[in-house]
Amino acid sequence: MKFKTVITGFVLLFLSQAEAELLQRAEVAAFVRDMVTEYDYDADELNDVLGRVQLSEKVIAAISRPAEALPWHRYRSIFIKPSRVRGGVEFWRRHLVQLEHARELYGVPVEIMVAVIGVETRYGNNTGGFKVINSLSTLAFDYPKRSKFFTGELKQYLLLAREQSLDPHTLKGSYAGAMGIPQFIPSSYRAYAVDFDDDGLIDIWENPADAIGSVGNYFKVHGWREGAGITAPASVRETDNSALLTKGLELKLSMGDMAAGGVTAEGDIDPAEKVKLLQLENKDGYEYWLALHNFYVITRYNHSALYAMAVYQLAEAIRAQYQPGT
């Protein structure tokens, strides 16, 4: 027992020193000053919050190996599987009224909202086990590559906690600080989350209605076009098509440009419509798709073509299995 007590004391001393060192760092002091100046945050309160932060090597390791770096065939296998399709059908049946209301209000197909929640958290069954304050602080202060972005999210999170009268150390989420059933980062919560059941509280952690409404609102605000297509399978000539594989996710070329380069699509796409050619890696080669405007909107939720394609294909599989009235 005496040995255990000594070890425990050593660990606590190490943590307290690490926390004290965090408060002594110049960038952390600057962050506190900014919060006081910009948002009238209490300096002593914020120092207490940050003094209890535990920076996490697991967070850095996780963000350094995102699933979106995988080839398509491996990424797809994570999300397009029978159990997740069945879960989507069950979620649709269980929350039919709220989903239909969201479809009517925001114009987003039910299966897309369901698939987003399915990809993000398996319909609320896995919302993350990292303390949000620890994740965001780690990425803000110990991940230079995206420090600016996550410093902004840490600010948004602290403002959210103050608005909701929450202890910032109570909420858990993903390694990147995404929260709740739809995995909203703090800025998205403050900008797009809605009280969809009018109970006076926006709760994306425990309330599926608010999660559903928030996803629908997010897509609506980002320009979802009701009734428009999302993506279409494409065929390409056996020639160099590198000029058509534009960088980024924006739709820079028209369907007419694609046709002139030897790309054809299943279904009719207006020659003037902006599209993006997608080249997805399989075990035995590539498959090609044309991303349309609503596909781009899905990438606003997660800036990845693989993510948007997984949402689309999961949505299609769920819709194929869902039977109204059963």
Contact 291, 305 (CB under 8 A): yes
Exposure class string for 154-175: b at 16+ Cβ within 10 A, else e: bbbbbbbbeeeeeebeebbbbb
Tokens coding 60: 């850095």
- Which residues, including other chains, have CB under 8 Å from residue 91's CB and lie 6 or more apart? 114, 117, 118, 123, 208
Give 129's Cβ-side CA count (13 Å radius).
Answer: 4
Report H helices in 143-248.
147-163, 186-192, 208-221
Q: What is the pLDDT of residue 156?
A: 98
Average pLDDT, the chain: 93
Using CA atoms, how far apart are residues 312 and 112, in angstroms rounded to an integer? 7
- Mean predicted confidence (pLDDT) in 273-294: 96
Question: Model confidence at 230, in pLDDT bands (50, 70, 90)?
Answer: very high
Do residues 73 and 281 touch, judged by C-beta distance below 8 A?
A: yes
**116 pLDDT higher than 70:** yes
Which residues neighbour 136 within 8 Å (Cβ) at sequence distance 6 or greater?
A: 150, 153, 154, 157, 177, 186
Contacts of 224 (CB under 8 A, 6+ apart): 106, 107, 108, 294, 297
pLDDT value at residue 20: 59
User: What was the pLDDT predicted at 15?
Assistant: 39
Count Cβ atoms below 10 Å from residue 259 Cβ, excluding itself.
Answer: 13
Share of residues in the chain with pLDDT > 90 (%):
88
Per-residue pLDDT for 238 more than 80?
no
pLDDT in tens, 120-157: 999 999 999 999 999 999 999 999 999 999 999 999 99
CA distances from 238 to 201, 241, 287 (A): 56, 8, 13
Longest CA span, the chain: 79
Name the DSSP letter for residue 290.
Answer: E
Average pLDDT rounded to a whole number, residues 79-103: 98
**Which of 85, 129, 100, 91 lies closest to 321 in space, CA to CA?**
85
What dihedral angle (degrees, nearest 10) is formed by the CA atoms of 122, 125, 131, 135? -10
* pTM of this structure: 0.91
Tens digit of each residue's pLDDT (9 = 90 or more) over 13-33: 333 445 558 999 999 999 999
Cα distances (Å, whole numbers) of residue 27 to 5, 6, 44, 152, 284: 35, 34, 17, 13, 48
Residue of 1 and 319 predicted with greater confidence: 319
Interhelix angle for 82-94 vs 305-321, to 10°? 70
Active-site residue numbers? 120
Q: What is the pLDDT of residue 52?
A: 95
Of residues 62, 85, 67, 118, the one with CA closest to residue 304: 67
